[in-house]
Amino acid sequence: MGLTTPELVLWYVGLSLKLVVCALAWQRCLYRQLPVFTGYITAVLVRGLFTYWVYHQMGYASRPAFYFFWTTQALLLTWRGASIGELAWTASRPYLGLRIVMKWLVAAISLTLLMFGVWLAIKTPSRLPPFVLALERDLELIAAIVLLALLSLAAYYQVVLNRVQKLIALGLFLYSLAQVVNNAVSNQWLQPYFHWWALVRITSFQVALVIWLIALSKPLVQEPVQEKLIDLGGMRDFMRHGTEAMRDLSARLSHFRRKLQR
């Protein structure tokens, strides 16, 4: 395949972790709370299996392997950004003020990212790796800022985040932080540092996988459905007072009618 021994070891360990995390995510029905993130971790596993097949059949340094890796890398980058947006929206949904802040923050970041992506595409139209690396570096920086803002605002305003949300956010944050430094270095010295870039990327993602594995190790706590209970006591009092008022009105009308008859 053309991979070094440390990369091969990390590859198989990472593939096993992806399989376990993906299986737990579907077993715990995580798709009910975070469907986009569940789809993302599933896509990561599928991409890993297809990447192994492409490298094995066509060679690590082949042209199809090159385009497959960088194209799927860009797609997963977009999917991970959507997962972070979903996490921020889900966590802030019960809180109007936090939801407004996160909505405008994510909107501003998305617009900035889109403009920067267009600028990169114009600047390096024929160089796919530097384009994806630069785009990933800036997206990971933005993702780290969004996740840090979410965790900080949640702690400051005492927003209740469940265990799964906290650990998923922590895993995404640590991976994004590692990728910012990794891509910044690799974008300057892509060829000599490519294997080191791959090692750091794989290792940092495995750290995130372990954190997500811990998050999914226990059954998910389903949010209780808030049912509106009818206050029967208050309704009975209201009906009693209403009945008494109607009786009093009826008695007054009868008394007035008798006076008229006289």
Q: Same structural domain for residues 208 and 244?
A: no
Do both 167 and 190 map to the same domain? yes
Percent of the chain exceeding pLDDT 70 equals: 62
Residue 248 included in any domain: yes
Averaged pLDDT, 84-108? 75
Pair 240, 206 in one domain: no
- Considering only residues 193 and 86, tell me which one the structure prediction assigns the higher pLDDT: 86
Question: Which domain covers residue 256, as residue numbers?
Answer: 228-262
Q: How confident is the model at residue 165 (pLDDT cuts 50, 70, 90)?
A: confident
- How confident is residue 259, by pLDDT bands cut at 50, 70 and 90? low
pLDDT confidence of residue 51: 85
pTM: 0.71
Question: What gap in Å lies between CA 81 and CA 37, rounded to an integer?
Answer: 10
Of the CA atoms within 13 Å of residue 217, those in its CB half-sphere come to 9
pLDDT band at residue 147, thresholds of 50, 70 and 90? confident
Q: What is the pLDDT of residues 111-141, one digit of tens each?
A: 776 676 566 556 655 565 666 666 777 777 7
Query: In this structure, which amino acid lies at residue 169?
Result: A
Q: Note whether residue 220 is domain-resident.
A: no
What's residue 231's pLDDT? 47
Q: Are residues 163 and 198 in the same domain?
A: yes
> pLDDT tens-digit profile of 102-117?
677 766 766 776 676 5
The predicted pLDDT at position 208 comes to 92
The tally of domains found in the chain comes to 2
Examine residue 42 and state whether it is found in any structural domain, yes or no.
yes
Residues 162 and 243 in one domain: no
What six digits make up the tokens of 183?
A: 């891509």
> How confident is the model over 219-238, as pLDDT tens digits?
887 654 444 444 455 556 65
* Mean pLDDT calculated for residue range 246-251: 67
Claim to verify: residue 245 and residue 143 sit in the same structural domain: no
* Inside any domain, residue 222: no
What average pLDDT does this structure show over 95-99? 70
